[in-house]
Structure 1
Amino acid sequence: MNMKHITKRDKQLAIVLTFALVLTIAVRVGFDKKATTDTTATESALRAGAVTEFESLQTAGLTAGSISDINDYSNATAIVSNEEKTKVTSQLLIDQKYEEGTVYGYKNLGFSEVEGNLNVREEASEDASVVGKLTNHNAVEIKSTSKDGKWLEITSGNVEGYVSAKYILTGDRALALVDDLIATYATVKVDTLKVREKPSTDSNILSKVHDADDLRVISIQTVENKDKDGKTVTEEWVEIEHDDEETEEIETAFVFKNHVELANKFPTGKTIKELHYGSEVDDTRVALCEMALKYYGGRYVWGGSTLGSGVDCSGFTMAIYRQFGIKLEHHAATQATQGRRIKASEAKPGDLFFYKRPGHSGIGHVGIYIGGGQIIHAASSRQGIIISSAYYQTPLAVCSYLD
């Protein structure tokens, strides 16, 4: 009887203890679950508020020289916390890795703030030669500051030199512009690339761009087209901003993705060479044009081929090209057979434009294209060596000898 009573109480006690244990476990699990949720929520809030945190750090006096101070904010706009991190904003269409502690690869970022152009000079002096120009909001890497603080040594694209410090935004003022100015660009990797109205090789050609040209990207599109045999092929095209020469408005166009290289960039300055000849022109072409321009205003002599003494049209081109190891005959029509025929729209500085001479039906005159729609040529005994529009009359042929 007593044994049965004890057994019954033991069973009741066991039930109570079991219930208490279950309740304790449930409470503990609930606490652990709540703690995990709070941690996740905190992490999510940090991610969502990363830009706000970054902005508050800016207002606290963060400068471009102290980027490493906020490396813990791995999601802060434009800041890369380590080599494995990538950054893509709504404007950027590709992932790209950047060096630790940089703003999209810039260690000491600044932006120009000017109306018109800012001269980049060879030395820290207003009397120094101009080697390039910046337009408004071009990015610069600041390398050093002059002792008086008035000049900054900078690089911007291919430009290296000195600019007036008062026209360069630095620190948090520069960082505030980062998201607005960074964008994806397509850099042309072939000599000439056709810009088309639609993403298809059958589409209208709107214009042509050249090696090293930067095109601002709008989107990257994968489309299905038909090849020459009628088979369906999958192609990638890059939608770009395109200036309509007639309306002077920015519209959209397409280039084939295989012929460009995509990168996230800021707009940068240009060298004097790039401004005059274009970014796609190599040093040989520039040197040839600059040599030809040295003889601007020189004498025209029928049958002449000696620079400085007097030349005719083909004698001028022959003498200039001779300096670069290219042998041309002293006859315009023959020179037109010695080069590679190209379209006038494909011409680069240093190529030759051929024309008819008054009273003749075939090629009888030649000039050197110097870019900007102009040629330099030995025109006549009255005019000498002059610069004219490349289309002062319709060219009969255009030839390249330098590619």
Structure 2
Amino acid sequence: MKRRGIKQVTLGILGGLVLTLNVNAATIGVVNVKNLNVRSGPSTTSSIVDHVHLGEKLEIISTSDNWFKIDLDLLSNAYVHSNYVNIENSSNSKVVTTKAELRNSPNLLGNVLATIDKGQLVSIEYQTGDWFYVSTTKGKGYMYKNSLSETKSSDSKSLSTSQDTTEKASKKVATVNTNILNVRQQPSISSKKIGKVYRNNTFEVLSESEEWVSIKIPNGSTGYIYKDYVVISDEKTITDSSSLRQQVVSYAKQFLGNPYVWGGNSLTKGVDCSGFTQQVMKKFGISISRTSRSQINNGYRVSKNDLLPGDLVFFGYRNRISHVALYIGNNQVIHANNRKTGIIINTLGDSRLLPYIGASRVIK
């Protein structure tokens, strides 16, 4: 049988009775639904690794937005949604501001779930920084401590968050997995569009709900994108992008003078324009498609004035892409040009190049 919830240790056997003792005074939660999914991460997109059931007691290790990390069997990562767990020994408090906001995360960027009137009682379950996680008649969420009549009680629990733990967890990021995605002012398809983002754009997740993710777009505005068209993951430690860009450029220059072969994929024996960019990027673990027309959709669009070394630059007639080159800085590109010249460097404004169409960034 699987061990559940509170860690216990056997002290011994006396008169046929087995004595047990709780190892520590942990924060304990009680499941309040019949069947609750346990996930591998604090998100509904994370895989389901187990289930817990009504009335079952759980040892809560830490909290991340609306999720509890729990101690469960031998699982190193086990999370349940906090809406479906009641904290034991919670304390009551009273709203002291005219309208107190109940948010879905412990910061001012969190979505407002409801407003609670002055004088209403709420049940404090735990504190995280300057915020309390509370249970109200309108649901559970976070309220700023100054909204309540008490900032902490002897009965309330204080849980660590991913930012408080000694080994800090990575921030969550959302990566767009469709060609173009609208950014809306509010989490609703009827809300005003305030911008667009593109495939492979990655943004820090400010908050998330079942269907929407809140992000900050390049112009500084905070907006919402539909969750079905992004992949939520932990932010990964990657090589410094400026250093990586220079490595890409240096590697590409090794093949100057090598032959152009239409349809070729060899940087030494022969390659065409899109084969050249694909094979150079492949060296650094960056996967892009095979044709110049499709490669513009592998990254996110950047303006000509914002080009950085390693960006892909596209050319053609009448807005129809037929050539791609690698920008190397100082207004220059390297590319597999044609059978006569092979792989060469040109200035971006060289009249021998086809008309400029656009650029894409695949190095984040």
**Does the pair score TM above 0.5?**
no
TM-score relative to the length of structure 2: 0.32
Larger radius of gyration: 1
Higher strand share: 2
Structure with greater proportional helix content: 1
The two structures have a TM-score, normalised by structure 1, of: 0.29
